[in-house]
Amino acid sequence: MSKIHLHIANANQNFTARELSIFKNAAKKAEAFIFAIFQQFDYEVDIIITTPSFILPTIAEDGIAGKILHSRLIVLSIDKQQRKISEDFVFETICHEMSHSLRWEKLPEYAETMFDGMILEGLAVVLEEEAMVKTGRQDKQFFLKEMQKTPQAEIDKMIAVLKDKLEGKVYDYNKIFFTGDDILLRWAGYRLGYYFVKQYLRQTDQNIVQATLASYKDLLYKLKSPHRDMRNDEDEM
């Protein structure tokens, strides 16, 4: 029995029969990938696919975005005017959101601090990255490419700016995680989260499944002072 239930909002016939088939194939393959590596995926998830709105705008370069409303409800926003619909992009986005789903379903905690939020998103980016690699998919989103190619100098600069605020609970989420500013790159929170998680995996020899289900306290404890230790670790590699 399928664990992912796909609901396509298509009353206005925005999506063609071929595009509907792409969505269904992507969801089926994403489910198979997640189920194969997470024994904890023992529940069912609804995924709604719709066109973009002010509630969930897409990433213009990719024509897609995802949002999780709770552990068993995910929404994907797709704009085929921005980019031709890609099965790889849909697959990648579902895998990203399933990282959030698994944490919310299995861990009784919330991302309270800026660091927690970065880790939450970093885990999701690393999972989508591994999903693409392990399934041999080459058509990566602009978003993922940006995460992968962030220069170390920019990482160091963002850490220097934010290091005293990482454990704070009040911050400008939109600026940190989306828009950036004159100092912070666009998606700074995602970039640092991706960096922190990659360093955590190297330091602990854990895999992404173990890390996805680790508590924020455990991650913080293992990393101790992430903005300092991880830079040192990177320098030694």
Per-residue confidence (pLDDT) for residue 223, from 0 to 100: 80
Looking at residues 75-88, what average pLDDT do you find?
A: 98
Residues contacting residue 57 through CB under 8 Å, at least 6 positions apart: 65, 77
According to DSSP, residue 57 is labeled P
The model's pLDDT over 187-235, given as tens digits with 9 standing for 90+, comes to 999 999 999 999 999 999 999 999 999 999 989 888 864 444 444 444 4
Distance from first CA to last CA of the chain, Å, rounded?
45
Give whole-number Cα distances, 199 to 18, 117, 194, in Å: 41, 16, 9
| 212, 121 contact by CB (below 8 A) | no
Q: Does residue 165 have a pLDDT over 70?
A: yes
Confidence of residue 39 (pLDDT cuts 50, 70, 90): very high
Q: What is the phi/psi pair of residue 50, to 5°?
A: -145, 175
Q: What is the phi/psi pair of residue 108, to 5°?
A: -85, 60
- Give dist(CA 22, CA 205) in Å, integer: 36
Instruction: Indicate the pTM of the whole model.
Output: 0.94
Length of the chain: 237
| Domain spans of the chain, in order of start | 4-106, 114-236
